[in-house]
């Protein structure tokens, strides 16, 4: 465990929205290749933490170091760091005016990381990987929710990120489409991607997570392996939450 | 009526052309002004927000006719007082500035509303991929915003076209001014103003029909 590289180092992170303290004192280290699942009731600060990692929410206080770079430092080029952090959203956020393949090609081409041909080739490979290569020229409005989310994952992967953030990726899906998205995520985890996942899918957490972090009220209540947290939780708040969702 | 048309048709058509020229040049600059102030308004900078708001409020708070007088008579007088001799604005220049400023303020509001109608997640998704704010705005947000803005923009075109008539007060020889001259020469007010009114109507109704068609084709492929 100790010889692995630390990908994400978060220390004493605080985030306030006006007077509301959403993250109160949050510290965590995430290793390369680790899959961390954040569980907790709504309003516990899970999504806010995730959005702080790529500074979609600017941290109020504390330090976030990703792959050796200080994200919270004002002089850091945040766009450069975001290139290495993929994010998947609850509501997919595909670009509706662009086709599936254009969605994927946009950032790599605009940021001059790839030529159009390279980006298209890479995009098609990724679409094949998520089982969406037949829909490359479709528009997002022609896809089902599960299909949209798989495209969104491919879009994030096109940047060759070191870390993938998932913000409730299956919460907006019809139940029968949850499986297809989770399958893609499981494959990613198996391939060694560092992943931070906010989800309510306890089954996924149990199966895929290296570590589960249970949050409530802006703090980490407890963390540990799925076995420890789901089968043998110690804290009363964790037990209470799991009783409600299981 | 026939007699007026026979005598004055080329002048009337010429004046309509002037009206359209004034409309189009003003609209061109209004689009630029509108875009600049809209971007100021939606950005995060407090200073820019403030400048944007002040501009829109100030221009919308002043009647166009006052703005036109201010620019045509007031500004050259002010510049002369500062010691610059021979500063003059033609009626076309002053008219274009006044209309562009006026229309630009409304355009800024239309564009601002259009940008804000785009789901915030679009900007976030684009930023999360490492694209800058400017690139995200240009490649992701604006193309979507423009679709929702088009009907309002065409509507504003029509309003601006009608507002050119106000600029007859600074002597620009557009259609309304021509109407004044003709009715003054012929003493046939009824016929003259009917003709002028119909000319405006033909252009504007055509424009609205085109607008409807664009609107319908946009909502179809959505």
Model ipTM value = 0.91
- Considering chain A, what is the average pLDDT of its residues? 93
**Of the partner residues B124, B132, B222, the one whose CB lies closest to the CB of residue A56:** B124
Residue B220: the pLDDT is 61
Edge-first strand listing for the sheet containing A69-70: A20-31, A6-17, A61-66, A69-70
Contact B130 A79 (CB under 8 A): yes
Q: Within the 143-162 window of chain A, which residues sit less than 8 Å (CB to CB) from chain B? A: 152, 155-156, 159
Cβ of A82 under 8 Å from any chain B Cβ?
yes
**Of the partner residues B128, B143, B144, the one whose CB lies closest to the CB of residue A82:** B128
With b for 16 or more beta-carbon neighbours within 10 A and e for fewer, the B173-199 pattern comes to: bbbbbbbebbbeeeeeeebbeebbeeb
**Of the partner residues A89, A93, A111, the one whose CB lies closest to the CB of residue B131:** A111
Contact A95 B140 (CB under 8 A): yes
Residues B112, B36: Cα–Cα separation, whole Å:
10
Cβ of A56 under 8 Å from any chain B Cβ?
yes
**Contacts with B122 from chain A: Cβ below 8 Å:** 93, 95
Residue A151: the pLDDT is 96
**For the segment B47-63, what is each residue's pLDDT rounded down to a tens digit?**
999 999 999 999 999 99
Asked if the model's pLDDT at residue A160 lies above 80, the reply is yes
**Contacts with A141 from chain B: Cβ below 8 Å:** 222
Distance of CA B123 to the CA centre of its chain: 29
- Residues ≥6 apart with Cβ < 8 Å to B133: B123, B127
Q: Name which of B123, B130, B220 to mutate to probe chain A: the one with the most chain A Cβ atoms within 10 A of its Cβ.
A: B130
Distance of CA B221 to the CA centre of its chain: 29
Number of domains comprising chain B: 1
Range of the domain at B190: 2-221
- Which CATH number does the domain housing residue B6 bear? 1.10.3720.10
**For the segment B1-35, what is each residue's pLDDT rounded down to a tens digit?**
788 888 888 999 999 999 999 999 999 999 999 99
Band the pLDDT of B215: cuts 50, 70, 90: confident
**Contacts with A109 from chain B: Cβ below 8 Å:** none
Residue A52: the pLDDT is 94
Residues B12, A46: Cα–Cα separation, whole Å:
69
Number of helices (H) and strands (E), helices first, in chain B?
10, 0
pTM of the predicted protein model: 0.86
Query: Is pLDDT larger for residue B87 or for residue A178?
Result: A178
């Amino acid at each position: 465990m100790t010889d692995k590289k630390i990908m994400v180092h978060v220390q004493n992170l605080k985030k306030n929205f006006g007077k509301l303290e959403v993250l109160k004192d949050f510290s965590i280290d995430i290793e390369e290749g680790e899959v961390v699942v954040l569980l907790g009731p709504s309003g516990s600060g899970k999504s806010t933490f995730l959005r702080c990692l790529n500074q979609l929410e600017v941290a109020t206080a504390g330090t976030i170091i990703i792959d050796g770079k200080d994200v919270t430092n004002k002089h850091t080029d945040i766009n450069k760091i975001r290139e290495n952090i993929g994010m998947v959203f609850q509501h997919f956020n595909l670009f509706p005016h662009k086709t599936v393949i254009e969605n994927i090609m946009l950032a790599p081409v605009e940021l001059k990381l790839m030529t159009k041909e390279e980006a298209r080739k890479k995009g098609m490979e990724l679409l094949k990987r998520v089982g969406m290569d037949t829909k490359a020229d479709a528009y997002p409005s022609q896809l089902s929710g599960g299909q949209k989310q798989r495209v969104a994952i491919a879009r994030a992967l096109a940047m060759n990120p070191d870390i993938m953030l998932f913000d409730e990726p299956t919460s907006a899906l019809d139940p029968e489409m949850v499986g297809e998205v989770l399958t893609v995520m499981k494959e990613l985890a198996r391939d060694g991607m560092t992943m931070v996942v906010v989800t309510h899918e306890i089954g996924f957490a149990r199966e895929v997570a290296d570590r589960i972090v249970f949050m409530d009220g802006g703090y980490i209540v407890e963390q540990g392996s799925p076995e420890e947290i789901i089968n043998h939780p110690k804290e009363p708040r964790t037990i209470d939450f799991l009783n409600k969702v299981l | 009526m026939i007699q007026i048309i026979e005598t004055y048709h080329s002048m009337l058509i010429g004046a309509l052309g002037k009206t359209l020229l004034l409309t189009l040049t003003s609209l061109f600059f209004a689009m630029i002004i509108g875009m600049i102030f809209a971007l100021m308004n939606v950005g995060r900078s407090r200073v820019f927000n403030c400048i944007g708001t002040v501009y829109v409020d100030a221009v919308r708070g002043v009647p166009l006719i006052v703005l036109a007088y201010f620019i045509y008579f007031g500004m050259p007088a002010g510049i002369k007082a500062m010691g610059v001799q021979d500063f003059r604005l033609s009626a076309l220049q002053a008219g274009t500035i006044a209309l562009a400023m006026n229309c630009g303020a409304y355009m800024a509001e239309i564009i601002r509303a259009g940008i804000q109608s785009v789901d915030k997640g679009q900007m976030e998704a684009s930023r999360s991929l490492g694209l800058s704010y400017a690139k995200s705005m240009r490649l992701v947000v604006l193309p979507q915003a423009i679709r929702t803005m088009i009907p309002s923009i065409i509507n504003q075109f029509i309003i601006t076209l009608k507002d050119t008539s106000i600029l007859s007060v600074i002597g620009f020889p557009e259609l309304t001014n021509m109407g004044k001259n003709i009715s003054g020469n012929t003493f046939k007010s009824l016929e003259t103003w009917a003709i002028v009114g119909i000319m405006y109507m033909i252009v504007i109704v055509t424009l609205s029909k085109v607008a409807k068609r664009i609107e319908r084709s946009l909502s179809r492929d959505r």
